Amino acid sequence: MKDRIYLSTPHMGGDELKLVQETFASNWIAPLGPQVDAFEKEFAASVGSPHAAALSSGTAALHLALRLIGLKAGEEVLCSTLTFSASVNPIFYEGGTPGFIDSERTSWNMDPSRLAEALEDRARKGRLPRAVILVHLYGQSADIDAVAALCERYGVTLIEDAAEALGASYKGISPGTRGRMGIFSFNGNKIITTSGGGMLVSADASLVDKARFMATQARDPAPHYQHSEIGYNYRLSNVLAAIGRGQLRVLSERVDARRAVCAFYKKAFVDLPGLEFMPEAAWGRCTRWLTCVLFDPKKFGADREAVRVALAAENIEARPIWKPMHRQPVFAGCDCFGGDVADDLFARGLCLPSGSSLTPEQLERVAAVVRGCHA
């Protein structure tokens, strides 16, 4: 069996171990400490947000964001349908109901015209949603201005799920920094990782302070343990923050490397009919966290599942594009505005191995299998 090629693997820079050793030497093996403080500051500076709170996961960050806006049971939150379930689950943690919004074809992210339709519909019915969760998929920013303008017009809070888009840009800003709050993930498959972790950012210091408070069991300021609110154990450990600081130092190199992987595939498949890449929207720079391709079976001679199976037979990991949330059994019965675009992207789309440490030989192996599927 040939060596396994993974979809997206951790890629350490060099400073991580030194920083972890510093942490050990100082005995700050705790869920808080100087590495967490420094990581928050450095991360905030990196994405251009005034404030950031380091948390145990992106999911925890999104959950806290919904707690912080005071989402109540029965209230609706509109969310991109093409995403990972972690964008939606926290809505249920708070008893809310999701309404899903289809993708557009420019960036594969939330279609502002579908969002407008949903907001008009809800305004007509006199029950506006509590928030919109705008997801930035596969390293590419959604059309933030269009979505933010709609949220402003209807007075609906915008929360950005930028778990997959650290290092991307949108008209000169980082996705995740325009909404009331934004969240990021440092899960093992992300562009930089702390093995597990997340960040909540906001321009509003009081929200970020409150997030830190809620993430540390909502302890009132008292010498004894006193609690006036329900809290969570959601803080990032000081040891993992040390890894994050090291990773942040190589973020721009990781973006360049992932873009180079995508450029390699583009060149390798330039003559193949019926194969197209996720477009890069003119409004920003995509990190190509994952290189995503669509197959037209009639022109290519094989569908995406045949390509995935052929890659798997060669011990190469590839994944279908996210199965839309309105197609998930667990979310059956939730409203969806549109859905055909996300359905089509799921039916025809595949994520190819995209890690920043892939070797030229590994990339050649992947390309050869994909080419071999073309009839």
Ligand X SMILES: Cc1ncc(COP(=O)(O)O)c(C=O)c1O
Q: Which residues bind ligand X (CB under 6 A)?
A: 57-59, 83-84, 86-87, 135, 161, 163-164, 185, 187, 198
Residue 216, SS3? Answer: strand
CA-CA-CA-CA torsion sign (170, 327, 308, 187): positive
Shortest-Cβ-distance residue relative to ligand X: 58
Q: How near is the Cβ of 225 to ligand X at its closest, in Å? A: 28
Residues 6+ apart with CB under 8 A from 338: 101, 102, 111, 114, 117
Closer residue to ligand X, CB minimum distance, 86 or 316: 86
Q: Closest separation between CB of residue 61 and ligand X, Å?
A: 8
- Shorter beta-carbon distance to ligand X: residue 170 or 269: 170
In angstroms, give the least distance from the CB of 217 to ligand X: 19
Closest CA to 22 of 35, 9, 5: 35
Residue 73 Cβ vs ligand X, minimum distance, rounded to whole Å = 22
- For ligand X, the closer of residues 185 and 362 by Cβ is 185
Q: Can you tell me the distance from the alpha carbon of 307 to that of 153, in angstroms, rounded to the nearest whole number?
A: 44
Residue 333 burial (CB count, 10 A): 6
**Shortest Cβ distance from residue 188 to ligand X (Å)?**
9
- Residue 186 CB, nearest approach to ligand X (Å): 7
Q: Judged by CB, which is closer to ligand X: 5, or 79?
A: 79
CB of 76 or CB of 160, closer to ligand X: 160
> Given the complex with ligand X, which of 129 and 198 has the nearer CB atom?
198
> What is the rounded distance in angstroms from the CA atom of residue 37 to the CA atom of residue 338?
43
Nearest Cα to 81, choosing from 108, 55, 63, 60?
Answer: 108
In contact, 165 and 223? CB cutoff 8 Å: no
